[in-house]
Structure formats: C-alpha cells, structure tokens
Amino acid sequence: MGQSRRTFTDEFKAAAVGRLYKPGATQTGVARELGVTSEQLQYFAAAARSCEKDRLLPAIHLIRQPVRPPSDSEPRAF
C-alpha cells in the first residue's frame, strides 16, 4: 500500500509562510528546517495569498514562536 498523505494545520502553514519573510530566509532553507518540500512551502505561500485561503493571512502576524514540524502522534487538521 502507498504512504498516507501528510496534512498540516492552518497555524503550521501560516507560521511556515511567515518564516519566509525573515531576513536571509530562503524557501529551500525554511522547507528543510520544517521537514516539508519546497513545493509544499510554495503551495502554502500561494494559498496564503489567494482569496480562498484568506484565513491564513492574519495568523502569519500572530505567530511569533519557532515552528517545528508536527510529530506523527499529533492530530492534524485538513
């Protein structure tokens, strides 16, 4: 059987996108730190910019703590 698909909370996505705006941050570097692919991070950023995902935008400014990838035991949204 195939692998199950990983899902991420809106808060995780927003914080990940927020890290892209820190000085010296690169998409590849942030993706590696968080354990996601660069393409996933690009999708998170595109979703944050779109009107359909406008609920992500306010969270970017609210999260000020370091982001860590969710563990396999933590529940995930989506």
Mean pLDDT across the chain, nearest whole number? Answer: 77
As a whole number, mean pLDDT of residues 3-18 equals 87
Residue 73 within a domain: no
Q: What is the pLDDT of residues 20-41, one digit of tens each?
A: 888 999 999 999 999 999 999 9
**Structural domain count, the chain:** 1
* Helix or strand holding residue 62 (H, E): helix 56-62
Please give the Cα distance from 36 to 32 (Å, whole number). 6
pTM: 0.60
6 confidence band (pLDDT: 50, 70, 90) = confident
Look at residue 49 and tell me if it is in a domain. yes
N- to C-terminal Cα separation, the chain: 22
Is residue 31 domain-resident? yes
72 is a domain residue: no
Within-domain flag for 24: yes
In a domain, 41, yes or no: yes
Expressed as residue numbers, the domain containing 18 is 10-62
